[in-house]
Amino acid sequence: MRVVVLTGAGISAESGVPTFRDADGLWEGHRVEDVATPQAFRRDPETVHRFYDARRAALASVEPNPAHEALAALERALGDDLLLVTQNIDDLHERGGSTDVLHMHGRLRSALCAACDARVGWDGPLLGAPPCAACGADALRPDVVWFGEVPLGMERIQRAVARCEVFCSIGTSGAVYPAAGFVQYAAAYGAHTVELNLVPSEGTAHFAEARHGPASRLVPAWVAEITTG
């Protein structure tokens, strides 16, 4: 069975990674325009670096939860018939055992050279980083997709969404496009669509099936159904 899973910040919430829009969300204390746009980075690179450097450092103190581990089990059961797309920039899917994760909004543990597009694994702060090893420019930036920038892997995502039999969205508010629109494409192509989220998301009406509760409980149960059903 061909499955596409889309995850958002809610799948990492129980691991202790703050979400964006819940009460203690990340955006509080920072207006999104102040930290997650290319204009913000041009205007005030130090503030933007500090925002991402703090999130990258925090990765060391969080662990994957049963929801991440269940999706790794799903990958072992389905192999190439599963595409796992995440909006998250943390590495908890990988640390939970998933080996093929499409980070459509980039990754904290990677740096991108704005001058030559080289990418390099990065674990320390990017504030005060050395010049790009590939081209020598002093142009390393967080390897994340900001508002107004083009998400990564869109061709692969659109192909998989058009072919899948099940589309499952986990822990996302459905507030940000194009990710929030994938469910409508999947449904239009005849897939069964499922939302697993703490509360009904903004796009909940587009899903054929919706289950509400914590991901660490809902995801293992859903994976067990999918792999034994």
Examine residue 177 and tell whether it contacts ligand BV8 (CB under 6 A). yes
What are the CA-CA distances from residue 1 to residues 21, 86, 191, 220 (Å)? 33, 20, 11, 18
Is the CB of 96 or the CB of 151 nearer to ligand BV8? 151
User: Checking phi first, is residue 91 left (phi over 0); if not, alpha (psi -120 to 50) or beta?
Assistant: alpha
**Structural contact between residues 25 and 188, judged by C-beta atoms closer than 8 angstroms:** no
Reported in sequence order, the residue ranges of the chain that DSSP labels E, i.e. its strands, are 3-7, 82-86, 101-103, 106-113, 119-121, 140-144, 166-170, 192-197, 209-212
Examine residue 54 and tell whether it contacts ligand BV8 (CB under 6 A). no
Tokens 């390897």 sit at which residue? 143
Q: Which of 105, 192, 206, 212 is catalytic?
A: 105
Kindly write out the interface string for residues 98-117 of this chain, putting x where it contacts ligand BV8 by CB under 6 A and - elsewhere. -------x------------
| H or E, element range at 213 | none
Residues pairing with 141 in the sheet: 112
Is the CB of 54 or the CB of 135 nearer to Zn ion? 135
30 is a catalytic site residue: no
| Among 13-21, 72-80, 185-193, 203-211, the segment contacting ligand BV8 (CB under 6 A) | 13-21
Q: Whole-angstrom Cα distance, residue 68 to residue 144?
A: 21
Say which entry of ligand BV8, Zn ion, none residue 134 contacts (CB below 5 to 8 A, set by partner kind).
Answer: Zn ion
Per CB under 5 A, contacts with Zn ion among 103-122 are 113, 115-116, 118
Examine residue 168 and tell whether it contacts ligand BV8 (CB under 6 A). no
Enumerate binding residues for ligand BV8 (CB under 6 A): 8-10, 13-14, 19-22, 25, 36, 87, 89, 105, 144-151, 154, 171-173, 175-179, 197-199, 201, 214-215
Return the active site residues: 105
